Structure formats: C-alpha cells, structure tokens
C-alpha cells in the first residue's frame, strides 16, 4: 500500500464519519421517542354475499329433490370432512384414545400409555402420505421386506445386503503384484 492509497482510505473513513454525525444531529430528537403505532386497522377483505337458498333451489330443480336419508348422510359427511381435511394424520383408534383418559402419567397410565401405544405404529401407519422428503426413504418398507426367523440362530443380513456377490476380493490383475 503506498501513501496515495492510504490517504484515499483515510479520506473515505472520515467522510463516512461526518455523514453519520450529520444524520445523528438531524434525527437526534426522534431517536429518544418510541415509534408511534398505527391506530388504523387493516381492512380485511370480505367475500361477496351469495344467497344459498336460491342456489340450493336451482340445484334441486336440476337434479330433483334428494331424500331425507341422503340429506342426513351429506350433513354427517360435511361435519366430518373439515376435521379430516385439517389433519394429515389418520384418526386414532378408540381403544388407544381410551388409554389417554385412564389414569395419570405418574402411575405409568394415561398419557404415558397412550404415547407408548402410538409409538408402536410406524409413520406409514399413522399418516396418509409422507410429510417430509426424508420420510420417502423407507416409506411402507414393511410391504417390501420379509422378516424371517433364521434357521440356526444366525443371520446373514449384512453379508447379503452389503458385500458383493462374488466375494470381497476381486480377481487379481497382473499389475497388482508388489515389486
């Protein structure tokens, strides 16, 4: 670094300092006060009014009037649909849910037993589809893998899955010899 470049850096640093001081003098009074909050509320967009009765009447004219049984089935399905749509998880069985309300965790009952029972199921049994990309590895693995009891108490799982079919060592080449 020569003298000319050093002077350039020195001037640029002092110029930045002066600009900061000028800004501070100009806005000094505003810095001590907290920022004022807006009292205006944001306007929430609203949907246009749709007359449901006229739409239902038009649909009934096209399709014909549904029976009372169909109306009841539709109302039951509409009540259950929002709950199903909000959850990615399959519903809990009533037997497992009953464990939640039976006793206290301190006594190894209640929530403790409920969580143990839920832990026994894998993610593919609890969810409809993988929620994260890391769940794709091994999703529904129980369908693909067959577990068997080994015949003589040993298992060759690592050997068959990891090593090559024709052994660990490959065929020696002519130039593999040590000199």
Q: What is the residue-averaged pLDDT of the chain?
A: 75
Cα(50)–Cα(45) distance, integer angstroms: 15
Rg (Cα) of the chain, in Å, rounded? 36
> What pLDDT is stored for residue 171 in this prediction?
62
pLDDT for res 173: 66
pLDDT in tens, 62-82: 665 556 666 666 666 565 555
pLDDT of residue 84: 53
Structural domain spans, the chain: 92-129
Q: Which tens digit of pLDDT belongs to each residue from 125-142? A: 888 888 888 888 778 777
Residue-level pLDDT at 17:
94
Confirm if 99 and 118 have CB atoms less than 8 A apart.
no
Kindly state the helix (H) or strand (E) to which residue 13 belongs, with its residue range.
helix 3-31
pLDDT on residue 39? 67
Contact criterion met (CB below 8 Å) for 75 and 69 = no
């Amino acid at each position: 670094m020569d003298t000319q470049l050093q002077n350039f850096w020195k001037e640029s640093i002092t110029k930045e300092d002066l600009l900061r001081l000028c800004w501070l003098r100009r806005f000094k009074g505003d810095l001590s006060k907290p920022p004022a909050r807006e009292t205006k509320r944001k306007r929430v967009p609203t949907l246009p009014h749709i007359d449901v009765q006229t739409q239902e009447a038009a649909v009934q004219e096209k399709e014909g009037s549904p029976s009372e049984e169909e109306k009841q089935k539709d109302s039951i399905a509409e009540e259950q649909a929002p709950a199903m749509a909000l959850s990615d998880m399959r519903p809990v069985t009533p037997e497992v849910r009953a464990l939640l309300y039976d006793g206290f965790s301190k006594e190894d009952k209640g929530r403790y037993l409920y969580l143990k029972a839920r832990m026994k199921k894998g993610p593919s049994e609890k969810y409809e589809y993988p929620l994260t990309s890391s769940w794709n590895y091994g999703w529904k693995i129980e369908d693909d893998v067959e577990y068997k009891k080994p015949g003589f108490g040993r298992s060759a799982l690592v050997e068959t899955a990891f090593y090559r079919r024709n052994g660990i060592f490959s065929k020696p080449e002519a130039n593999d010899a040590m000199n």
